[in-house]
Amino acid sequence: SQQGEEDPQALSIQEGENATMNCSYKTSINNLQWYRQNSGRGLVHLILIRSNEREKHSGRLRVTLDTSKKSSSLLITASRAADTASYFCATDAYYNQGGKLIFGQGTELSVKP
């Protein structure tokens, strides 16, 4: 079963706009990671935020984590057509041994030039 749920399932924006994707999860976590996937193949790691962190930045990406609400958001600023992809959140649940990730269903982002 999936740990996370992502919202929205699909998002279409114009180049230059900001894109916000949300992820909710069910159990306590060690960390939460965001990945991007192009064309249904390999996933590219974007950012990892630990359970004791609240916000993290990487280039045009900003991730927030609210453990009290069991939710995270990924903000992509000044989007580009090349950002078009599916974005997944993945949690490393606290009860897990071994760091296996449980993925959300993903948000399909389309950035129109």
Residues that bind another protein (CB under 8 A): 2, 30-31, 33, 35, 40-45, 48, 50, 88, 90, 92, 96-106
In angstroms, rounded to a whole number, what is the distance separating the alpha carbons of residues 86 and 80? Answer: 14
Beta-bridged to residue 31, according to DSSP, are: 50, 92
User: What is the C-alpha separation between 52 and 79, in angstroms, rounded?
Assistant: 28
Measured from the CB atom, the residue of 25 and 88 that comes closer to another protein is 88
Q: Cα(77)–Cα(74) distance, rounded to whole angstroms?
A: 10
Closest approach, Cβ 73 to another protein, in A, equals 20
Q: In whole angstroms, how close is the CB of 57 to another protein at the nearest point? A: 16
Select 52 or 113, whichever has its Cβ closest to another protein.
52
Residue 31 Cβ, how far from another protein at the closest point, in Å?
Answer: 7
Amino acid, res. 22: N
